[in-house]
Chains A and B, each alone.
Chain A
């Protein structure tokens, strides 16, 4: 090793960062070269000066106060954290509320709120009951299909009207005349949105939807094809009778 090689390794040699072999080579060189030995001595002296000026004694009071303040700060923070309500129950409650709200929203059939065709068609049917019905043949010619007309023992079909709705050209509203001049009508509405009335269960176990408001009065039931069959009176008729007629139209 010559002096130039040694100078390249001077810093790691001083910092004891050399591998053993390199370190031994440097030590041998320093032993043989007074110039480099002097340089090492001077650099060590400089290092000691740096350490000496860099080591600032911290006053005893400051020393105690410093650590005391650190510990006090940590304790204060921990106390605040401990006194604060844990957040997870609030998060859980919020999640629960959101879930319940979501379930309620879905079950309540939100589509109906934003323009329910079932409700609109029922109102339309109610208003058309004041008009004179057409014959079944005329309606079938108009709608190009046969009218769904369930049998009702002891009655005769008086006629039919159509209910128009967007997307569904027409729904036949069949009117039945009963022997005592009573009259009911029957219509199958798409969608079967049962929210238009309250659901009830009869003793035979079958479920009906009953609508009773100043503007609507009907008994309905959900059919196998998903539509809502509705039976409406055209005159003042006791509920019990309406139920019996609805059950007769519904069949077994």
Chain B
């Protein structure tokens, strides 16, 4: 038991901040984030025998935390209803958005945006987009590892990551516009 504890501590310690940040972005509050992290760590420690030494521990533990979150969501029945994610409902709107995107000075948006707005934009993303983006960005998981963690095809993961970043960019631009910043024009 003692050896296992030491080994687990050594493995998980470098990733605790990233894991906690991930849990916080999933749950949106510290108390729930700590509960989720504890549950994830408990399951990881219980399943440590199943971890192949020499493989990517971070991806493994992120995957377990993600499963704990999905299970929690199912239990609470708070999981958002699945949306028709890959369908473009309104082609005209999509085209307009592309034009608007092209006219946006993203340099201004990214420079002026504050941390709270980035957090808010992340929190407002639906789980379907938020989970792949957080796993990829915070967990440093490869696409195939994200696909395994979420039990999704690789193509779906790529598509959702693309759309997650697109939604995030647009949300940040909207915050910048709300604050009266000039966001149109050529990027510097």
Give A residues with C-beta under 8 Å from B: 11-12, 15, 17, 35, 38-39, 42-43, 45-47, 49-58, 62-63, 66-67, 69-71, 73-75, 78
Contacts and interface: CB of A to CB of B under 8 A. Distances in A.
Nearest to A71: B5
A52 B58 CA distance: 18
B42 A50 contact: no
Contacts of A43: 165
A71 to B, nearest CB: 6
Looking at chain B's contact residues, the main secondary structure is helix
B138 A46 contact: no
A42 B106 contact: yes
A45 B45 CA distance: 35
Contacts of A62: 34
Contact of B161 (A11, A53, A67, A70): A11
A54 B138 contact: yes
A53 B169 CA distance: 15
Contacts of B20: 56-58
Interface of B: 1, 5, 8-9, 12, 16-18, 20-22, 24-25, 33-34, 37-38, 41-42, 45-46, 106-107, 110, 113, 115, 118-119, 122, 133-134, 136-138, 142-143, 158, 161-162, 165, 168-169, 172, 187-188
Given A17-B142, A53-B115, A12 B158 contact: yes
Contact of A15 (B9, B122, B138, B143): B143
B16 A58 contact: yes
A43 B109 CA distance: 11
Contacts of B5: 71
Contact of B119 (A39, A53, A66, A73): A53
Given A49-B113, A54-B25, A66-B34, A42 B187 contact: yes
A54 B42 contact: no
Given A54-B18, A56-B24, A58-B20, A11 B34 contact: no
24 contacts: A11-B161, A11-B162, A12-B143, A17-B142, A35-B187, A39-B106, A42-B187, A46-B169, A46-B172, A49-B115, A49-B118, A50-B138, A53-B21, A53-B118, A54-B18, A54-B21, A54-B134, A55-B18, A56-B17, A56-B21, A58-B20, A66-B41, A75-B1, A78-B1
A46 B107 CA distance: 10
Given A57-B20, A66-B16, A69-B38, 17 more contacts: A11-B162, A11-B165, A17-B142, A17-B143, A42-B106, A43-B165, A46-B169, A49-B113, A53-B115, A54-B18, A54-B137, A55-B21, A56-B21, A58-B20, A67-B8, A70-B41, A70-B45
Nearest to A45: B110
A74 B45 contact: yes
B137 A47 contact: yes
A63 B21 CA distance: 13
Contact of A38 (B107, B143, B158): B107
A52 B115 contact: yes
B45 A58 contact: no
Nearest to A38: B187
A173 to B, nearest CB: 77
